[in-house]
Amino acid sequence: MFIVLEGLDGCGKTSQAKDIRQWLIQKGYDVHLTGEPSNNKIGLFLRELLTGVREVQPPTLALLFTADRYWHLDEEIKPALDEGKIVLMERYVNSTIAYQAAQGVEAEWIRELNKNILKPDLTLFLDIKPEKAVKRADSGEIFENREFQDKVYEQYMKLDDMLRIDANKTQMDVLYAIKNAIGDRLQR
């Protein structure tokens, strides 16, 4: 099973992912927790770019994030799924659509680049108000400002392949909602 967590910077997905991982392990599942940008060389290069060391054109960023994704899938995600693990993933195709479209890249072109990619079984969107998310985001990366996060939120709102989780609530309430959503899928 392949589960993706999406949301704005500061939506709380990293803490939730860790708690969900623990919960799934306690239930007896083998879990592989990962995320994008990945830890391969393209992912590490992206992390460097995200600090703002040099300017990169948005279409180039869309291509790099997509290349990182293909490589990450081949090297890490597909092998983990083949071993029967649950892959829990922070960010995926919808991050490129939301963030790079917010930078002005054509969403259709991003979809085209990603059209043959493995589809997640479940994508959860941790829906938090941009003003709240920006207060929590503190990694100092280039996209962490209110104006841009508003645009990203607008782009996320256009996507209809995610299950919305109200992430404005307490961490415990959000965790409960995520557990319910995943629990439903596991029973099928």
Q: How far apart are CA 154 and CA 59, in angstroms?
A: 19
Regarding 14 and contact with ligand TYD (CB under 6 A), the answer is yes
Regarding 139 and contact with ligand TYD (CB under 6 A), the answer is yes
Q: Which of 99, 125, 153, 156 binds ligand TYD (CB under 6 A)?
A: 99
Q: Which of 9, 33, 80, 114 binds ligand TYD (CB under 6 A)?
A: 9
CA 106 from centroid of its chain's CA atoms: 19
Q: How far apart are CA 96 and CA 103, in angstroms?
A: 10
In degrees and rounded to multiples of 5, residue 34 shows phi and psi of -150, -175
Q: Which of 96, 124, 130, 151 binds ligand TYD (CB under 6 A)?
A: 96
Q: What is the 3-state secondary structure (H, E, C) of 74-132?
A: HHHHHHHHHCCCEEEEECCHHHHHHHHHHCCCCHHHHHHHCCCCCCCCEEEEEECCHHH
Q: How far apart are CA 82 and CA 65, in angstroms?
A: 24
In angstroms, give the least distance from the CB of 64 to ligand TYD. 9
Q: How far apart are CA 137 and CA 76, in angstroms?
A: 27
- Smaller CB separation from ligand TYD, 58 or 186: 58
Residue nearest to ligand TYD (CB): 99
Binding mask 62-91 for ligand TYD (x = CB under 6 A): ---x------------------------xx
Regarding 125 and contact with ligand TYD (CB under 6 A), the answer is no
The residue ranges that bind ligand TYD (CB under 6 A) are: 9, 14, 36-37, 50, 65, 90-91, 95-96, 99-100, 139, 141, 143
